[in-house]
Copies of this chain bind each other. A is one copy, B any other.
Amino acid sequence: MIKEIREPLIFEISEAGKRAGELPALDVPEKKDALAGVALRRELEGFPEVSETEVTRHFTRLSQKNYCVDMGIYPLGSCTMKYNPKINERLSAHPAFAASHPLASEDLVQGNLEVLKRLENYLSEIAGMDAFTLHPAAGAHGELVGMMLIRAALEARGDARKHVLIPDSAHGTNPSSAHICGYAVREIKSNENGTIDLAGLEREMTDEVAALMVTNPNTLGVFESDILRITEIVHAKGGLVYMDGANMNALTGIVRPGDMGVDVLHINLHKTFSTPHGGGGPGSGPVGVKKELVPFLPVPVIGERNGRYVLELDRPGTIGRVRGHFGHFSVIVRALCYILSLGPRGVREIAEFAVLNANYIRKSLEGDYHLKYTTPSMHECVFSDKLQKEHGVTNLDIAKRLIDYGVHPPTMSFPLIVHGALMIEPTETESRRDLDLFIDAMKAIAREAKESPEVLHAAPHVTYVGRLDEVNAAKNPVLRWEKKP
């Protein structure tokens, strides 16, 4: 509420002897020598000592230094910052789920297994795949698991292959995941529409190539219209098609990746299915596959035997375990709640209005900002700072100035094929008023760029801190508090 208030680190307000969270007196006879001979620490050096009042105030004040979806539009491209329904938060925290132990035997957790199975089935229907695994902890983890599945399938064919093709517009996790799966990455250039260049693909797609990782709609928010031809080319050469489903928000109920020839894909529950981002996780990156790849799915697989759910561990072909237990269960509960709430029509409306909102913004800002690719937009549109650069104003200036107008900036770090990118994804849950708020701010900033660029260079003006020195942060890293000597 008050700009000036600065919140110290908890360590700076710690005072010997204070405490919260007391424990009951020990109710068993104390065995002083229980850990005789074991190296113990004298004390938790540097650990804070504060009261519950202070803890509550510390985190309440810190929370007020964040912008969030609950405050307003958050048009961060490729992140699908939609509203997170409150009821899903409550239900995912229900003791029946939240208090259940992952090592409990199957018959004690039939409800949990039903949750998992249901979501697997619903995602398969939505994505047009034959099966899903919910183990992956996030999108990047899903990519890795997906590539492992592809590798396992090819090895089973006796043809492991060495390379993976990835468009230059792809998110950084794609090449990184392929690499960690032991593949060499070959980048394929985008054409003038920002989509995959078919000629280039035909050239690159040799029988040394295991897979193509395609993002559709791609990170420009452009749908790969040649997708059928693309998957055909890859399949013809014995390769498999991996789809990064981070942008699934543009497709739900409209078209299914499985119907377009995609063999494997991941979906981000923390994007398309409204589970909160939590300031950077936890997410969940379920992976869907076609029949051919089912034998290789990570264990445990949820099976059904005479009306009861069972955990299948003994699956010869499996790539093995990719994470402990069953994935991000409480995130999975939220996504299930979301799909059940929306139903067939609601799930389709996700895509319909995500795309309408994005095109509304694009149309409204076309004159004011440069659009490198004029191909039709789906759920997001990518402008650049080209016009503003003439006045020495960069996309960073524009982003920081947006903060002064009370809205969150778009994504700027990629796609790398657009310099000075402003990647805008409003999502379907935004109101006309919030969209206009953002549009008006962008227009005002376009004017300011011409008339008073210095105001933009100095932005933001309304936050607790101004632009921070990131260069120094990386040059002389201070990554933890330390007691002054």
Binding site for B on A (CB under 8 A): 1-5, 13, 15, 18, 50-54, 56-57, 60-61, 64-67, 70-72, 83, 85-86, 403-404, 406, 429-433, 462-464
A463–B1 CB distance below 8 A = yes
Chain B residues with CB below 8 A from A57, complex form: 70-72
Whole-angstrom CA separation of A403 from B1 in the bound complex? 10
User: In the complex, which residues of chain B have a beta carbon less than 8 angstroms from the beta carbon of A4?
Assistant: 404, 406, 462
Partner of A70, one of B13, B50, B56, B430: B56
- In chain B, what residue has the closest Cβ to A20? B85
Q: Would you call A65 and B406 a contact (CB within 8 A)? A: no
Q: Are A71 and B67 in contact (CB under 8 A)?
A: no
Task: Determine the chain B residues whose CB is within 8 A of the CB of A15 once the complex forms.
Answer: 431-432
**Is there an interface contact between B1 and A53, defined as CB atoms closer than 8 Å?**
no
CB contacts (< 8 Å) of A56 on chain B: these are: 70, 83, 86
Residues of B close to A53: CB separation below 8 A: 83, 429-431
> Given known contacts A56-B86, A60-B70, A65-B1, is B433 in contact with A13 (CB within 8 Å)?
yes
Those 3 A-B pairs whose CB atoms lie nearest each other, nearest first: A53-B83, A5-B406, A60-B70
Give chain B residues whose Cβ lies under 8 Å from the Cβ of A70. Answer: 56-57, 60
Contact A64 B1 (CB under 8 A): yes
A410 to chain B, nearest CB (A): 18
Contact B3 A51 (CB under 8 A): no
A48 nearest CB across to chain B (Å): 13
Nearest residue in B to A54 (C-beta to C-beta)? B431
On chain B, the residues within 8 Å of A66 by CB distance are 1
Q: Distance in Å from the Cβ of A153 to the closest Cβ of chain B?
A: 42
Q: Are B431 and A51 in contact (CB under 8 A)?
A: yes
Contact residues of A: prevailing secondary structure: loop
Q: With both chains docked as a complex, state the minimum distance between the C-beta of A16 and any C-beta of chain B, in angstroms.
A: 12
Residues of chain B contacted by A67 (CB below 8 angstroms): 1
- For A2, A70, A83, A86, the residue with the greatest tally of chain B CB atoms inside 10 Å of its CB is A2
* A60 in contact with B71 given A4-B406, A13-B431 (CB within 8 Å): yes
Residues of B within 8 A of A18 (CB): 431
Considering the chains assembled together, what is the distance between the CA atoms of A404 and B72 in angstroms?
Answer: 26
Known: A2-B462, A65-B1, A71-B60. A52 touches B83 (CB 8 A): yes
CA distance A4 to B405 in the complex (A): 8
- Besides A52-B86, A57-B70, 4 other CB < 8 A contacts? A3-B462, A4-B404, A53-B83, A53-B429
Given A1-B66, A3-B3, A70-B57; A52-B462 close (CB under 8 Å): no
Question: 23 interchain pairs (CB within 8 A)?
Answer: A1-B64, A1-B65, A1-B66, A1-B67, A1-B71, A2-B403, A2-B404, A2-B462, A2-B463, A5-B406, A15-B431, A18-B431, A50-B431, A51-B429, A51-B431, A53-B429, A53-B430, A53-B431, A56-B83, A57-B71, A60-B70, A61-B71, A64-B71
> What chain B residues lie within 8 Å of A61 (beta carbons)?
71-72
Task: List, in ascending order, chain B residues with CB within 8 A of A431's CB.
Answer: 13, 15, 18, 50-51, 53-54
CA distance A18 to B57 in the complex (A): 36
**Set of chain B residues within 8 Å of A5, measured between Cβ atoms:** 406
Distance A460 CA – B168 CA, assembled complex (angstroms): 53
Contacts of A60 in B (CB 8 A): 70-71
User: What's the minimum C-beta distance from A77 to chain B, rounded to whole angstroms?
Assistant: 19
Cα A86 to Cα B51 in complex, Å, equals 13
Bound CA–CA A352/B406 (angstroms): 46
Cβ of A93 to closest chain B Cβ, rounded Å:
12
A60 to B68, CA, bound (A): 10
Q: Once bound together, how far apart are the Cα atoms of A396 and B30, in whole Å?
A: 59
